[in-house]
Amino acid sequence: MVTNQTREEIREYLGQVPDWIAVLAEPASDHSWGLVRDLELGETELSAREKALVGAGVAAAIRCPYCSHFHKEEARMEGVTEDELEEAITLASATQYFSTVLHGNEIDIDDFVAETAEIVEHIEEQEATADD
C-alpha cells in the first residue's frame, strides 16, 4: 500500500486512488507511482501524444487488456485518431512479427547491426539526392 502522502498525490493527479494501486507490494508501491507520475504523466522528451501511442502499441503486443484500454483512452485524450491508433498497433504487431522471425531463425545480431547500418546509409544517401 502507498503512503498517505503518495495516496494524496495520486488523488490530486487522478481524482481518485485506483484499485490497482492498493495491490502494489511494499516497498514498490510509492516507487511504482513515481514511475507513472514522472515517466508516463510527467514532461519528458516524448510528448504525451507520443507516449500514449507507444503505450497503445506495446499494450497490444503484450496482449494486456488493462493496458490496451488505458493507453487507448489516454491516446484519445491526446487527440489521437482511430486511424492513428490502428497504425500504432499494426506497427507494434509488425515489430513483434519480425522479432519472432529474427529470433526463430537465429539471425546473427552482429550481421543484423551491420546490415542495418548499410540500409540507413543507403536511405540517407537517397534522401540527400532527392533534396538536391
Q: List, for residues 103-117, the tens digit of each pLDDT value.
A: 999 999 999 999 999
Residue 16 — left, alpha, or beta (φ > 0 → left; ψ -120 to 50 → alpha)? Answer: beta
Q: Flag whether the pTM goes above 0.75.
A: yes
Mean pLDDT of the chain: 94
The residue assigned the cell 515489430 is 95
Q: What mean pLDDT comes out for the span 26-46? A: 91
